[in-house]
Amino acid sequence: MKLKLDEALDIPLRSVDREIENIVKHDKDVPRSSTLAKSIIDLVRSGGKRVRPLMVIVGSRFGPSPDERKIWRLAAAAEFIHAASLIHDDIIDDSPVRRGQKALHVKIGINEALHVGNYMSARVIELISVYSADRERYVYDLSSLATTQLCLGEYQQLVHLYDYNVTVEEYLEKSRNKTAQLMATCLRIGAQAAGANEETADLLYSFGEKLGMAFQIRDDILDFTQSAEKLGKPAGSDLRKGQVTLPVLYALQDEELAPSIRAISADTPAEVTDLVIAAIQHSDALQKSECLSAQYLDEARDIINRLSHYPAHRDLLVLLQYFGGRES
Amino acid sequence: MTHELIQDACHLLQGEISPDTGIQLNISNEDVLPFAKLLEKYEMTAVRRQRLLSIYIAIKLALSRHSACDAASNGEALTRLVLDGDYLYSFYVQLCLGWQEIDLLVHLAPVIKQIQIKRAGGKFEDERLFKGMELYLRLESNRARQSQAI
């Protein structure tokens, strides 16, 4: 049987989850019975792969002095920031479901959910000032976890809705901002918190960035290849919402297919879009996208080779295998 | 003079905000005037005064963008309000870090957290921001006076 990511990395997910829950449970300003506390605990308990905290912990294995307490708290903070962004993403995307449950804004209202997300981000800023031993560390950790880049990725996505003239480079920059940067940061802050040298920390950042890019491209491919049942939404839903992802950009290079793709707008009937999505599924666009994803994974593998003198390089192989063979 | 300070701070902040966001600083004078006047009572360089006011405006704008979300319809209007608030909450942190206002950042963290806790419970106590900034300036000034006395 295939091991789960946390098991393969030998990191007990239950301990990670406990640390995440403690962020709100140990906040004396938040009553345990409040909607705020309950909402966050429910969200944590609804599951998730905890990729980001796992990456912080893996990063710390490249340093000579892993201060476990500090590392685990940083790991939990990274997930807290990610969870806050998911709450806001669901509001923006008008997604009714998150991890098989009603999305938070559906449960408690848009305004309340928005502020739960804001609380989570503000709480991390407060905590990092306590966790970080020195001023330099505080500045570094906070600026690393700041989500301005993530927001910029969202803005870039917004202005390019139904924009079929977007370039592959612009798509890659948006993906870097939206997904890869936080994953790369997780590995690097873990490494630096454990006292790893700059070169190693930078290599880990670069590894995380390439992994993040491959992850995002795979995610965009899965939107076309997985069944509606597995996705929990109709196949091709990114394009239906106007998001021009890599498979679409490659499909646009097909002169026969391009006009029908360019004709899709917010007003296009679903049955027309269904036909275009089927045509993209049968074109070579998914294969080309897969190739670019594989290229990022190859580059990530090269970085592992440069770090092979660390026993923890095996954990990077686990991450590579996970992202490379990811199905869901 | 106060209006000039507000103009300078808005100009400074607008220049720092990424043009990709499309954020326009449509904040009313009365929202920032009390804090601008307060800043003028404290001894500091003109540049720092502008920076502190810029940070204050960024947070005020973040609060206002997110509080408008209820009234907004779905779609792009809502998306922009959510994103603008998110960006500005993150951006004020970067401004504090970039301008070496770390003590202010540490001081404001629990204040902004409290505002969010109250808002999540349906109560708006945004005046905590002004009070928090006021307390910070007072403490900083007291510390400066004490160290001079020593």
Does A324 or B140 have the greater pLDDT score?
B140
Chain position carrying tokens 């938070």: A104
Mean pLDDT check: name the lowest of A65-74, A227-236, B1-10, B117-126. A227-236
What residues does CATH 1.10.600.10 cover in chain A? 10-146, 150-328
State pLDDT tens for residues A279-317.
Answer: 999 999 999 999 999 999 999 999 999 999 999 999 999
The pLDDT assigned to A328 comes to 41
- Please say whether the beta carbons of A190 and A205 come within 8 A: no
Q: Cβ of B131: how many Cβ atoms within 10 Å?
A: 11
**Chain A: residue nearest B86 by CA?**
A151
As given in the structure block, the two tokens for residue A7 are 């098991």
As given in the structure block, the two tokens for residue A125 are 């800023």
Is the Cβ pair B113, A152 closer than 8 Å? no
The Cα B65–Cα A114 span in angstroms is 11
The Cα B137–Cα B132 span in angstroms is 9
The pLDDT assigned to A229 comes to 63
Does A147 or A291 have the greater pLDDT score?
A291
Q: What is A169-198 written as a DSSP string?
A: HHHHHHHIIIIIHHHHHHHHHHHHHTT--H
Chain position carrying tokens 């090269």: A302
Q: What is B109-149 written as a DSSP string?
A: HHHHHHHHHHHHTT---THHHHHHHHHHHHHHHHHHHHHHH
Using a CB-CB cut-off of 8 Å, the residues of chain A touching B111 are none
As given in the structure block, the two tokens for residue A4 are 């789960």
- Please say whether the beta carbons of B102 and B94 come within 8 A: no
* Mean pLDDT of all residues in A183-197: 92
Percentage of residues in chain B having pLDDT higher than 90: 82
DSSP type of residue A102: E
**pTM, full prediction:** 0.89
| Dihedral angle sign, alpha carbons of residues A187, B92, B42, B35 | negative
The pLDDT assigned to A228 comes to 64
State pLDDT tens for residues A66-116.
Answer: 788 889 999 999 999 999 999 999 998 888 888 888 999 999 999 999 999
Is the Cβ pair B21, A151 closer than 8 Å? yes
**Phi, psi at A94, each rounded to 5°:** 55, 40
> What is the CATH architecture of A150-328?
Orthogonal Bundle (1.10)
- In 3D space, the residue among B78, B63, B80, B107 whose CA is nearest the CA of residue B22 turns out to be B80
CA distance B84 to chain A (A): 8
- Interface residue A86 vs chain B (CB under 8 A): no
> Please, which pLDDT band fits residue A132 given cuts at 50, 70 and 90?
low
Say how many residues make up chain B. Answer: 150
Is the Cβ pair A152, B87 closer than 8 Å? yes
State the amino acid at position B87 in one-letter form. Answer: Y
Q: What's the domain range around B115?
A: 2-149
- Please determine, for the modelled complex, whether the ipTM score is greater than 0.90: yes
Structural fold of domain A10-146? Farnesyl Diphosphate Synthase (1.10.600)
Does A285 or A134 have the greater pLDDT score?
A285
Number of domains in chain B: 1
